[in-house]
Chain A
């Protein structure tokens, strides 16, 4: 037999194995499979689309707010409507948009970046998505019927407690966020376990992409921070509905307890939002600088350090509450300290650009836009770490300017970079470069025109959260500029949306690796097949796709057969063995519907009266679905292993 025919027969047997994989993993498009899918790529795309819809809704809220504030004494909105709009704008942007959007990126990308076939718990993943959709829908529906939360996104008591806030508005807030917390916690656990156990053989921790490190750091912060928010919301609900007194100083409670619990969650949450964005920056830069991010070990240390220090700075949100001076000094120092790891990351990116050969494309432009705006937000952030300054400008528009620079600059710019960068992988289509550049310049100009003047109006004494203001206080011009900027920003974001829709509908088919990227997702098809990788990738370095050993093995390696995925050891990524992956199932949806019904039951107080039987049925559905979900397969004594 000649060498040629031998090679040929090997490649035919590989083709057959791949065809079998298509059989094992493929999902026939049907209504049932739409509801039952557990494919991390479909779920990830859904997360992103749903979070995008919530972004449009919450952004529309902001446009109405800015229209009201364009001129003094405007009457576009009543004070009550204004309260609901700014509360929903903040709450939705923080909870229903940023984190879920990054969870969508993570869901789609983490298994691909680590060379896995799916998340560690695919059904839990589907469950998390359904819970997120339902929680978001409940919260936005409350806005449609004019009963949305109206106590500000951080819901300070006593304003949000009875008797100062009656009505259902803040119950929607506390229950909606508790409901959403289930999804976020499930997602965080899933990310950590996936990264710890499912990395491709050879991907030891020191070869793990920085984006994956960022998602892991984020997930650990969720694990430890979210319980504080959940507890605070549970207490608020008990206070409001069942007459408990956690936050009632008249009965020995404390209003500051809410602020402590909220910010013990809230400050890590700033990093929960920003850190995946920083990860995207580290993922995008190598492709457009044609080299890896410099100082990889320092970058990893920075991610870990930020995750830890972020738990020690929460009181800087409370510098104006009259706590002991000594505690202010401590938290002021910690808040200043956290700029060090952030600075390390910024300088590492700058040096990556300096040492690299830059290719300017839209994702790169958004990264540069991010660095500029995020650093400006960082400057004002350092100012806020100084107690004396903070007490002067807190609750003014200066704060509004600051956190929009941090959150829009720090999270949305990298997100847009990520969307353009991975759109070929998400959809299999390329975006139109020219349109996307227009979008970039409009977003950058619109953003700065909106928020830069707020620094000034804030320093001139304009408080946040006022529904209107009298003329002649020196604020008129700055507010008008902000509103004009907001419209420019909206046009820019609209162009992004048009660009994405256009790409999906008419875009040029994307090659597998349009950017010559360095990480494993570029070693799959665009969009990837349901099993991601036919052969399990072997990783030998930090940049597997720039490493011939990996690319050759990916193209010619023996496919891993069946509905299976590889597990590896936690630290060194040693091969441990293949495990059977769960099939598609409707149970995650059923469990999520059960929780939805139970939450609605609590919201409408169906405890003993009303439709209490429906709420009870919801609770039963949760337990039934979970019991069925976790019921072990029947095994023969030989399979299970029984001592004779």
Chain B
């Protein structure tokens, strides 16, 4: 019998649970992200609740559909920012610290660029409407700034990881925090897709 077949037919392996190797930290982060995602779901739910009770025009006049140019660029910055995190995580699993550091640095640049673009977008939006204009504006600013806050927290986490990795805390044996930060960053990323679709694209439907 080949070694592989022997291994596969060993009773312990046959009954082993898949997937294995989930740590307490993994579960903690996944549950945290789940409850956070529920907040965003409730916010977007509130958005559609208000929208469906509003008149035929949405956003309510005199406001126009949100402009897309900057937001598309922001999306183009944030979405790919998950890739360097994944690349960094794969690297540190093999013990390649340079990949961890480079990947985190690239992600942080993309995230910072996103926040910069958002500030620029706000500076133009605020000329047209503010938090206090109407319920639509309240929802718009609350949702986007809550997400921006999450990006900022993600940046803090990534920066903190980067600092720790420069000192040398991680390697192929010890890299759980990298995995947890990556989960959070992917979450921030995916939530943006939902916000982009609901707040920016859906009014044009």
Contact = CB atoms under 8 A, between A and B. Distances in A.
Interface of A: 120-121, 124, 185, 188-190, 192-193, 196-198, 223-224, 226-228, 230-231, 234-235, 238-239, 242-246, 248, 251-254, 257, 260-261, 264, 567, 569-572, 574, 579, 623, 627, 630-635, 637, 639-643
Contacts of B97: 642
B142 A235 contact: yes
B172 interface: yes
A204 to B, nearest CB: 10
Contacts of B50: 246, 252-254, 257
A197 B24 contact: yes
A442 B69 CA distance: 71
Contacts of A254: 49-50, 53, 135
Interface residues of B, number: 51
Contacts of B28: 120-121, 124, 189-190, 193
A30 B180 CA distance: 35
B107 to A, nearest CB: 18
A260 B49 contact: yes
Contacts of B131: 238, 242-244
A323 to B, nearest CB: 12
Nearest to A242: B131
A185 B35 contact: yes
B134 to A, nearest CB: 4
A189 B35 contact: yes
Interface stretch (B74-82, B120-128, B160-168): B160-168
Contacts of B38: 223-224, 227-228
Nearest to B46: A257
B46 A631 contact: no
Contact of B171 (A185, A627, A637): A637
B177 A223 contact: no
B169 A640 contact: yes
A580 B138 CA distance: 47
A635 B22 contact: no
A641 B138 contact: no
Report the 10 A-B pairs with minimum CB-CB distance, sorted nearest first. Answer: A640-B171, A641-B173, A641-B171, A643-B95, A253-B135, A641-B172, A244-B138, A243-B132, A252-B135, A227-B38
A163 B22 CA distance: 51
Contacts of B171: 635, 637, 639-642
Contacts of A642: 95, 97, 168, 171-172
Given A257-B49, A571-B17, A252 B23 contact: no
Interface of B: 15-17, 20, 22-24, 27-28, 31-32, 34-36, 38-39, 41-43, 46, 49-50, 53-54, 60, 94-97, 131-139, 142, 156, 160, 164, 167-174, 177
Contact of B42 (A120, A228, A570, A639): A228
Contacts of A567: 23-24
Interface of A is mostly: helix
Nearest to A579: B24
Nearest to A245: B135
Contacts of A245: 132-135, 137-138
B184 to A, nearest CB: 12
A221 to B, nearest CB: 11
A472 to B, nearest CB: 44
Contacts of A242: 131-132
A226 B138 CA distance: 21
Contacts of B167: 634
Given A121-B28, A189-B32, A640 B135 contact: no
Contact of B17 (A244, A251, A570): A570
A243 B135 CA distance: 10
Given A231-B39, A254-B53, A631-B164, A246 B169 contact: no
Contact of A230 (B15, B39, B164): B39
Contacts of B49: 254, 257, 260
Contacts of B177: 630, 632
13 contacts: A223-B34, A231-B46, A235-B142, A242-B132, A245-B135, A570-B22, A631-B164, A632-B164, A632-B169, A632-B174, A632-B177, A634-B167, A637-B171
